[in-house]
Structure 1
C-alpha cells in the first residue's frame, strides 16, 4: 500500500483497463466501413458519369461555336461529312477538317463516355482502295505541293491510295496514325444527315434523283441532296433552330480492323452520318412509279412528307441519355425511355431494332422531316 500522505487517506492504485480492441469490435468496425464504402460507390460512379456527360456536352458546344463561325464566314455550317467514301479526302473536306483548320483538336475532344473511341471512317482509311470509289468522289484530294526547302507535301488520302501504301500493311497504318489520327482527324460524334445533306433531291416522278449522271441516286451521295446545311436555309425556315440537330454522340457502326492509336482490332467504331429520311414501314427512301403525280393523298409529296429522319445513329452513351448539339448552339440530352439503346422519333416497327413504337423524341423536341422547307 502506498504511504499515507499527511492529513489524508491512503491512495490506492487501480490498474488501468487495456486500450486494445477485441476481435468482435474489430469485425464490427470493418463491417461498418464496408457498408459505407458500398453506399459510396454508386455516388462516386454517378459523379463520374455526370462528369463525363458534362465533358461531352462541352465538346459539342465548342464544336457548335466553330460550325456557326464557319456558317458566318462561308454561308454553310460545314463542307460535308467525315466520310472518305462518300465525301472525299477527309483532311480537306468535312466538318472535322473544317474545325481542325480553325484550330480545334477534334480528335482529342472525344466523348469519354462513348464505348466507341474511333470513327468508322478510320476503317475506310485502313481498307479502301482506289477501285472502291466511283466517279462521284475525289478520294485523293489536292495535288502534291512542295515546301520552300523542296520537301514534298502530300495529302494522306492520296498517299494511302498511291504507291506501296495502296496494298495496306504497317506503312499504311503508320501514315494513318501520323498524318490523320495524330493530327486530330478523328471523332466519335456523328453528324446529322440534315447538317451534311440538307434535304433530298427529288425528280419529277417523286423518286430520289442525282445531279450527276455518273452518280447513282443515294441518300449518302451529295449529288442526290442539296448539300451541307446553309445559314440562309436556317434563317428562312419556320422550324426553330433549337429543334434542328447538328451533331450527337455517335452510335456503333462497326469494329476496328487493325491496331491503331493504341486501340486493338475489334473495338467498336462510331458512325459518321445518320441515315436520312426513310419510310416508317421499311426504313428505306420512298419509291414511286414514274408517272406518280405530286399532289393528292397517293402522290409522291405525301409519301415523302411521311418519312422520318433515321436517328438510330445516335448513341445513348450517358446512362440512358444522348447529348445532341442543336443548331442554336445548345446541347440537349435526349432520354431513351424504354432502354432499348435507340431513340424512337416515330417508327412504329420493331424491325429497325426498336423495342416498341413509343415515341421518345417528339417533333417539338427534334425535327424529323426530310428537309427544312417544302414538307
Structure 2
C-alpha cells in the first residue's frame, strides 16, 4: 500500500491592514478610569436622594401610624388623645404615662419605629431616667414619677414597674443597677422615640389667671412654666378640635425630633455611643415673638393695646424649634386630621420659622411656613380665650 504523503500546513498570509493586538496604554487606562469616576460622581447624588426619599416615606408612615393610635386612644378615653408627654420629670412614669406609653401598651412599638434620618436615636427623657436625683420623688404628689403601686407575683414577691424600681431599688446615679433597669425594662421594651410631640398635644392650652400670667392649678406644684403640666389644660382633647374654628389639618401633633445637646447620653445605647445628642420630648409652647420667652406680666390690665390680652393674642407664637428638619431641610409632621406632610426650612438655618425675627438661631425674618398651614397661636382656638 502506498504511503500517504503529509504536507506541512502553511500559515495564512497576514493581511496588509491587520495589526498585532496590544494592551491598553497608560493614557487610555487613565481615560477609562476618569470616565468611570465621572459616572460614579453623577450617580452618587441620585442614589443619596433616592435613599433619603425612602427614609422620608418610612418616617411619614411611622407618623401616620402614630396619628391613628392617638385617634384610637381618644375613642377609648373620652376624647383625650394621649396621657401626656414622654417626660419622666414633668409627666410621670414613662411606661404608664405619655403618648409613647399609650401606644406601646396597645401594641405600637414606638421604640422600633424611629426616623432613620435623625442622628438622635434616643429621647432626652433617658438622660433624666439615668441622671436625675430621686430622693424627693416618692413624697412628690404633683407628678406620678413612681407610677402604679407595687403588686405581687404569684409567689408573693414584689413586682415593681420600671420607674418605681429605679427609685426604690436602684437610685444611684451612674450605678450598674440603675443603668440596667433603664436599658432592660424601658429601652429594650420599645419605650423610646426620636420624634417630638407638639405642645398642643401634650399640654393643650395655657391656664392663664386674672393677671395674665400662667397659673398653677395646684399652688404647691409650681413654679409656673410652659413645661409644667399643672399650668395647662392637659393633653389635647378631640372636643377642643371639634368646636374650634382652627382646621385640624393645621394643628401639629408629632414631628421629627430636634436635637438636645444639653442632655447627651450618659451611657452607650446600642448604636448611640455615650455623649450622643438626644431627641427633644416636646416643643416649648407659646413664647413672646420679641424674646422667645414665656409671657409674664406685672400689674398689667387685661384690656387696651398694652394689656395682657393683646400680648397673648398678637405678640405670642408657638416655638417649634424643638422639631427637627432632618429630611433634606424638611420636617415631617402628623396633624390632628391624620394627614402627614413635610414643612420645609427654606433658609436652611435648621429651624422652622413660623413668624419670628432673626433671634434664637433663626437667621432671617422670613417665615418658612404660614400660620394658616402650621397653627401657631397660644391656643388652638384663641377666640374662646
Give the structure-1-normalised TM-score: 0.93
Per-residue deviation, residues 258-300 of structure 1 (Å, max 9, x unmatched): 223342111110110100101111112222224x332222222
Contact 2:85 2:202 in 1 (8 A): yes
CA deviation after TM superposition for structure 1 residue 53, in Å: 1.1
Q: How does 1:357-372 map to 2 (within 5 A)?
A: 357-372=365-380
3-state SS, counterpart of residue 46 of structure 1: helix
Match of 2:4 in 1: none
Match of 1:275 in 2: 284
Which of residues 338, 341, 364 in structure 2 aligns to 1:332? 341
Contact 2:134 2:171 in 1 (8 A): no
Match of 1:300 in 2: 308
CA deviation after TM superposition for structure 1 residue 170, in Å: 1.5
Contact 2:332 2:341 in 1 (8 A): yes
1:63 and 2:66 are equivalent in the alignment = yes
Answer with 263-272 or 15-24: which moved more: 15-24
Per-residue deviation, residues 111-142 of structure 1 (Å, max 9, x unmatched): 01011111110000000122465542121011
Contact 1:245 1:327 in 2 (8 A): yes
3-state SS, counterpart of residue 246 of structure 1: strand
Structure 1: runs of 5 or more not aligned: 4-9
1:94 and 2:94 are equivalent in the alignment = no
Which of residues 174, 188, 199 in structure 2 aligns to 1:193? 199
Q: How does 1:133-148 map to 2 (within 5 A)?
A: 133=137, 135-148=141-154
Contact 2:201 2:236 in 1 (8 A): yes
CA deviation after TM superposition for structure 1 residue 219, in Å: 1.2
Change in Cα spacing, 1:230 to 1:311, as seen in structure 2 (3 Å) is same
Match of 1:6 in 2: none
CA RMSD in angstroms, aligned pairs only: 1.9
**How far apart, CA to CA, are the structure 2 residues paired with 1:275 and 1:67?**
21
Give the structure-2-normalised TM-score: 0.90
Contact 1:129 1:161 in 2 (8 A): no
Per-residue deviation, residues 133-171 of structure 1 (Å, max 9, x unmatched): 554212101111123344542111111112344343122
Q: How does 1:1-375 map to 2 (within 5 A)?
A: 12-14=13-15, 17-18=20-21, 20-74=23-77, 75-131=79-135, 133=137, 135-150=141-156, 152-216=158-222, 217-254=224-261, 255-290=264-299, 292-306=300-314, 307-350=316-359, 352-375=360-383
Answer with 185-194 or 154-163: which moved more: 154-163
**How far apart, CA to CA, are the structure 2 residues paired with 1:165 and 1:205?**
41
Change in Cα spacing, 1:323 to 1:227, as seen in structure 2 (3 Å) is same
Match of 1:7 in 2: none
Change in Cα spacing, 1:63 to 1:329, as seen in structure 2 (3 Å) is same
Answer with 87-96 or 322-331: which moved more: 322-331
**How far apart, CA to CA, are the structure 1 residues paired with 2:121 and 2:375?**
28
Structure 2: runs of 5 or more not aligned: 1-6
**How far apart, CA to CA, are the structure 1 residues paired with 2:136 and 2:109?**
29
Contact 1:181 1:261 in 2 (8 A): no
